[in-house]
Amino acid sequence: MIEIRDAAGADAAAICTVVRRSIVELCRADHGGDPVILGRWLANKTPGTVAAWIACRANNLLVAVEDGRIRAAGCVTEGGEVTLSYVSPDACRRGLGTALMRALEQRAMALGRSGCILTSTETAHPFYERLGYADSGPRLSKFGGPGGYPMSKRLP
C-alpha cells in the first residue's frame, strides 16, 4: 500500500537520503560517475535545504510512503513547476514514481494550474514521456553535465 502525503519538517533527513541515493545510484546517464558533476548536483541536497523547501509556502512537497518508510519525494510549486521528483533505488518500478507524479499534478490542478512544467534528467526523460510530458525547449546544461530537457504537460 502506497500513501502519498504532504511532507513534514521531520521528514527532511529521509527525503534527503532518497534524493541523494536516487541521483548517485540511478542517474548515472546524467553524471557518468564524475565526482565534479555529482558534487555540484548534490551540494544543496542536505537535510537543512530540504527542510527549507518543505517550509516554503510556494512549494507543495509530497512524499510516497510504503511500509512506513519514505520511498519517493516530489515537489510542485504554486506556479505548476515540478522541481523535485525522485524515487529511492530500492523502490523503483513499483508504481511509486507514477503515483507521486499523479498526486503532484492533482495538486497543481487544485491550485488552478492547467499544466505542469519540469526539467527532466536523461534518466527520467522516458518516464515523463510515458506520463504525457513533451519536450518544450532546447536541452539545458546543468552542473557541468549534459543537462536536462524542459518538458510540459497540459492537465485535464
CATH code where residue 41 lies: 3.40.630.30
Give the domain extent around 66. 2-154
Q: At what angle do helices 12-21 and 47-55 cross, to 10 degrees?
A: 120
Reduce the secondary structure of 126-142 to three states and give it as a string. Answer: HHHHHCCCEECCCCECC
- State percent of the chain over pLDDT 90: 83
Torsion-angle region of 119 (φ positive above 0: left; ψ -120 to 50: alpha; else: beta): beta
- Calpha distance 4→1 (Å, rounded): 10
pLDDT at 94: 86
Number of folded domains that form the chain: 1
In this prediction, residue 140 carries a pLDDT of 77
pLDDT of residue 1: 87
Q: Which three cell numbers stand for residue 118?
A: 519540469
Q: Which residues contact 114 (CB under 8 A, 6 or more apart)?
A: 80, 154, 155
**Which set of grid coordinates corresponds to residue 135?**
519536450
| 82 SS3 class | strand
| Model pLDDT, residue 144 | 60
What was the pLDDT predicted at 139?
Answer: 81
**Ranges of residues in the chain whose predicted pLDDT is under 50:** none
Torsion sign, CA atoms 22, 20, 67, 64: negative
Residue 118's SS3 state is strand
Q: What is the pLDDT of residue 145?
A: 63
